[in-house]
């Protein structure tokens, strides 16, 4: 009944039983049949499994469901299950975030999602960001603690997932893990000391396929873990996973992938070449930067519209709860609408006369009331300050400059971009038209924008379902050229020009029409 994946990792075999004329050993009989089916002469298996083979084959009349993984040209047989049995052969995709870890349990035979859940990265208790955790790891026992925090939480989550689905942990044969370079180090119990010290050297770029039991992960005894490779301290496996998910690397036409988190990571390329860079474009766009800025979550403003005639604010919050803050995409919507209605000028400065009662001056700062106290969750006014807007303008200018620089570096124009992929939690809420209005991203036809959502999890899921994933991932990794963004005169000129809304040269943004 299952719609088997053609190049998936679960294969059915049915063997001729041994005879005096055909006395090949049980394990070799099984492997030989798989070799034929997979057209390879290179399949390994574990002694632990070999020990079980004779009894299982006899119990199942010389048939079995086989779970395999493939690393380059070598296959590994890692599990046997009863044909038409009750167990669901499954795998777990893990987006190993600094703040949030998202996991998705997949039926490896069908590709169906069984369940998805997330948990806070428990390392937050030690330090909120990468830097704090790396410093903590330098203490005696620090690395071990960070490692056991994340492994422990993952094991608890796996346990809860399995109970809720009536599954056994032994039914999980493969994990794929995509995280930034530092999180991957802490997950693998690798010392991240040199990541943050010149010349910024990871312990390993490409850990490849590892054994789950080596990491203390409580799943099938022979389960393997595919850990996405990094390119360096600043370009992690989560981005490689995102590229895999976007399919950027499969198209003839050059596309761009932008992942905005704490940093903005940008990859440009096609099936022939990929170039990547990372820059600190995002600080203004994430929680903690503006006074009311925060991560997306219930009650957080993610969409804002301002009526051009009445200046009425139409505010949307996540889960339609009373507003308690604003996230990056809400802030971009807000800024775009403020600009289009003339409430801020082309430098991003509040225009008192247009803001009316929403304008406040307190603590020596210009404020704009986004939601008044009677409507907000806390009962206090939700405001943004001129400083918040200035910061947003710098961020959007940085983003545009990075996009301009990376396309120029290969002699392309921004208008040549065939598809503009937006990834990351931030990206899943963004409205491209607003980002265009403030000149954060180029003025491309809207249909060229594709919002990917959690592309890191998406790529990790793909890796569970294709036997060619490892090769594809290594191909992506090997074809990326990472460029350092040199903050030289040309870069600074571009940056200055981009610090206007939408840009010093408005002809670059023909679609942006100001309603004043």
Site residues (vs a copy of itself, CB under 8 A)? 18-20, 22-28, 42, 44, 46-48, 50-51, 53-55, 71-74, 188-191, 193-194, 198-208, 210-211, 214-215, 230, 232-233
Torsion angle, alpha carbons of 464, 466, 472, 476, to 10: -40
To 5 degrees, how large is the angle CA 40–CA 44–CA 47?
Answer: 155
Give 31 or 114: the residue with its C-beta nearer to a copy of itself.
31
Neighbours of 227 (CB within 10 A): 26
Q: Which of 200, 273 has the CB closer to a copy of itself?
A: 200
CB closer to a copy of itself out of 187 and 426: 187
Whichever of 43 and 258 has its CB closer to a copy of itself, that residue is 43
DSSP tag of 108: T
Q: Report whether 227 contacts 245 (CB < 8 A).
A: no
How far CA 267 is from CA of 188, 235, 274, 294, 475, in Å, comes to 26, 10, 7, 26, 15
Contact 195, 182 (CB under 8 A): yes
- DSSP code, position 197: S
Name which of 194 and 359 has its Cβ closer to a copy of itself: 194
Buried b (16+ CB within 10 A) or exposed e, 88-119: bbbbbbbbbbbbebbbbbbbbbbbeebbeeee
Structure token pair of residue 156: 């608890």
Least distance (Å) from a copy of itself to the CB of residue 54? 5
Looking from the CA of 221 toward its CB, the CA atoms found within 13 Å total 7
Q: For a copy of itself, give the closer residue by CB, 186 or 435.
A: 186
Residues 468-481: b if buried by 16+ CB within 10 A, e if exposed: ebbebbbebbebbe
Q: Which is nearer to a copy of itself, 215 or 397 (CB)?
A: 215
Query: What's the closest the beta carbon of residue 266 comes to a copy of itself, in angstroms?
Result: 19
Q: How far is the CB of 18 from a copy of itself (least distance, A)?
A: 5
Q: Smallest gap, in angstroms, from Cβ of residue 55 to a copy of itself?
A: 8
Instruction: Kindly state the smallest distance separating residue 268's Cβ from a copy of itself, in Å.
Output: 21
Query: From CA 124, how far away is CA 2, in angstroms rounded?
Result: 41
Contact 459, 423 (CB under 8 A): no
For a copy of itself, the closer of residues 46 and 345 by Cβ is 46
Of residues 41 and 82, the one with the C-beta less far from a copy of itself? 41
d(CA 10, CA 5): 8
Per DSSP (E only), the strands in 8-50 are 10-14, 43-45
Residue 137, φ and ψ in degrees, nearest 5: -65, -15
Nearer to a copy of itself, 29 or 324 (CB): 29
Shortest gap between Cβ of 329 and a copy of itself (angstroms)? 34
Least CB distance to a copy of itself at residue 233 (A): 7
Q: Is 410 exposed, middle or buried (0-12, 13-18, 19+ CB in 10 A)?
A: middle
**Secondary structure, 3-state, 326-360:** ECHHHHHHHHHHHHHCCCECCCCCECHHHHHHHEE
Closer Cβ to a copy of itself, 178 or 393, answer by number: 178
Residue 374: name the closest of 302, 310, 323 by CA: 323
Taking the C-alpha atoms of residue 219 and residue 89, their distance in angstroms, rounded to an integer, is 12
Q: In the complex, what is the shortest distance from the CB of residue 512 to a copy of itself, in angstroms, rounded to a whole number?
A: 40
């Amino acid at each position: 009944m299952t719609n088997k994946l053609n190049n998936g990792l679960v294969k059915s075999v049915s063997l001729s039983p041994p005879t005096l004329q055909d006395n090949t050993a049980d394990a070799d009989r099984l492997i030989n049949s798989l070799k034929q089916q997979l057209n390879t002469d290179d399949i390994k298996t574990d002694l632990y499994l070999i020990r079980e083979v004779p009894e299982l084959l006899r119990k199942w009349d010389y048939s079995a469901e086989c779970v395999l993984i493939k690393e380059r040209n070598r296959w590994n047989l890692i599990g046997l299950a009863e044909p038409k049995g009750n167990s669901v052969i499954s795998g777990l995709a893990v987006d190993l975030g600094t703040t949030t870890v998202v996991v998705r349990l997949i039926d490896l035979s069908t590709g169906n999602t069984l369940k998805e859940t997330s948990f806070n990265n428990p390392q937050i208790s030690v330090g909120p960001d990468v830097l704090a955790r790396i410093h903590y790891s330098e203490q005696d026992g620090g690395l071990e603690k960070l490692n056991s925090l994340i492994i422990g939480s993952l094991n608890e989550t796996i346990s809860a997932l399995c109970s809720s689905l009536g599954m056994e942990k032994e039914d999980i044969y493969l994990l794929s893990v995509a995280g930034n370079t530092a999180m991957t180090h802490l997950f693998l119990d690798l010392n991240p000391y040199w990541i943050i010290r010149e010349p910024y050297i990871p312990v390993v770029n490409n850990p490849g396929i590892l054994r789950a039991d080596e990491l203390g992960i409580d799943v099938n005894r022979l389960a393997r873990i595919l850990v996405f490779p990094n390119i360096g301290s600043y370009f992690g496996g989560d981005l490689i996973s995102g590229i895999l998910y976007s399919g950027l690397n499969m198209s003839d036409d050059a596309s761009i992938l932008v992942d905005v988190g704490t940093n903005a990571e940008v990859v440009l390329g096609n099936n022939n070449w990929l170039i990547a860079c990372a820059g600190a474009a995002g600080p203004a766009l994430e929680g903690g930067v503006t006074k009311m800025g925060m991560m997306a979550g219930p009650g957080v403003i993610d969409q804002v519209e301002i009526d051009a005639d009445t200046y009425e604010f139409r505010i949307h919050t996540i889960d339609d709860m009373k507003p308690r803050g604003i996230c990056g995409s809400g802030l971009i919507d807000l800024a775009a609408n403020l600009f289009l209605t003339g409430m801020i000028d082309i430098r991003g400065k509040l225009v008192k006369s247009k803001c009316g009662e929403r304008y406040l001056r307190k603590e020596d700062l210009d404020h704009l009331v986004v939601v008044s106290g009677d409507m907000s969750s806390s009962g206090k006014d939700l405001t943004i300050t001129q400083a918040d807007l200035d910061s947003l303008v710098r961020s959007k200018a940085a983003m545009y400059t990075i996009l301009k620089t990376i396309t120029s570096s290969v002699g392309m124009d921004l208008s040549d971009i065939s598809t503009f992929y937006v990834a990351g939690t931030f990206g899943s809420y963004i409205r491209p038209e607003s980002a265009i209005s403030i000149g954060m991203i180029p003025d491309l036809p809207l249909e060229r924008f594709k919002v990917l959502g959690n592309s890191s999890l998406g790529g990790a899921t793909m890796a569970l379902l294709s036997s060619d994933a490892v090769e594809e991932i290594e191909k992506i990794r090997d074809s990326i050229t990472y460029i350092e963004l040199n903050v030289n005169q040309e870069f600074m000129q571009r940056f200055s020009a981009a610090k206007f809304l939408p840009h010093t040269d408005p002809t670059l943004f023909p679609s942006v029409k100001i309603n004043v």
